[in-house]
Amino acid sequence: MTGTLVLAGTPIGNVSDAPPRLAAELVSADVVAAEDTRRLRRLTQALEVQTTGRVVSYFEGNETARTPELVEALVGGARVLLVTDAGMPSVSDPGYRLVAAAVERGIKITAVPGPSAVLTALALSGLPVDRFCFEGFLPRKAGERLSKLREVAGERRTLVYFEAPHRLDDTLAAMAEVFGDGRRAAVCRELTKTYEEVKRGPLAELAVWAAEGVRGEITVVVEGAPVSGTQRLDPAELVLRVTVREEAGQPRKEAIVAVAAEAGLPKRDVFDAVVAAKNAARTGPTAGKGLT
């Protein structure tokens, strides 16, 4: 008989959140595949257990090469426990390749459900949680990041991202540019740990806050695109709203930002509409009228 692959959730911060079955599985597994064997050692010490099986590393750098070895152990009848540094294996962590290979060989797969940064952040965000999309980490390069965000600019479901603390301000600024300054979001930092913090607000405000420097493990939850209403405003209506604000004494730049926030649009869209109207006013039959 073939063995069993066990995907085990590990604490995302507070070790007391470890599922009770995790300790038993760590003790009984024939093979423990860990993303970081040093963190596994700290986990077993905290749980006051010792692994009795073989411990091997299984991380992004060796995932492809080590998967066949683990599959062969499973085919031979071993119980293989897969753990990552935090949360569930395969969710932005190693595991997918091993699961896919085990499925192909007809090997039994089970799980020890555990804490999830995605679900925890969603629950704490204060944003709609009935439908959501998990997008993982965004690309590191600015152009690729913007392109990826534009792909989901119209997504109505709540969006969840992981991000490194040193890139958070750039990511939030890019989100504000693509989704609109006023789109609501929540930055969840150090979930379940001593310095847990949830910062909520419009994307533009969060970007300013993050520019001061943020530390720790970060999960970002972003409100989905509006279902109806101002998102469907045509360029002429956007220009009219900017004009009304200008006539009331508001500087054009501030008026554009405000209208973009009202409409749930990137400020670039409103700016482009204003520039187009300005150019048309200069060259069209009604030159001299409207925006100047």
pLDDT in tens, 226-245: 865 444 578 888 898 899 88
Could you tell me the end-to-end alpha-carbon distance of the chain, in angstroms, rounded to an integer? 79
Q: Which residue has the tokens 């699961």?
A: 99
pTM: 0.77
Q: Return the sign of the alpha-carbon dihedral for residues 128, 134, 138, 139.
A: negative
Structure-block tokens of residue 31? 């093979």
pLDDT < 70 regions, the chain: 227-232, 284-292
Total H helices, total E strands in the chain: 11, 10
**CB burial class (10 A; 0-12, 13-18, 19+) of residue 59?**
middle
Q: How many CA atoms lie within 13 A of 242 on its CB side?
A: 30
Cα gap 90→97, rounded to integer Å: 8
> What 3-state class would DSSP assign to 262?
helix
**CB burial class (10 A; 0-12, 13-18, 19+) of residue 165?**
middle
Cα gap 65→57, rounded to integer Å: 11
Contact of 221 with 127, CB cutoff 8 Å: yes
Residue 258 has what pLDDT? 78
Cα→Cα distances 234→55, 75, 230, 237, 273, Å: 60, 61, 9, 5, 9
Alpha-carbon dihedral 271, 273, 275, 278, rounded to 10 degrees: -140
Structure-block tokens of residue 256? 């554009």
Beta strands at 31-34 and 132-137: parallel, antiparallel or unpaired: unpaired
Contact of 3 with 76, CB cutoff 8 Å: yes
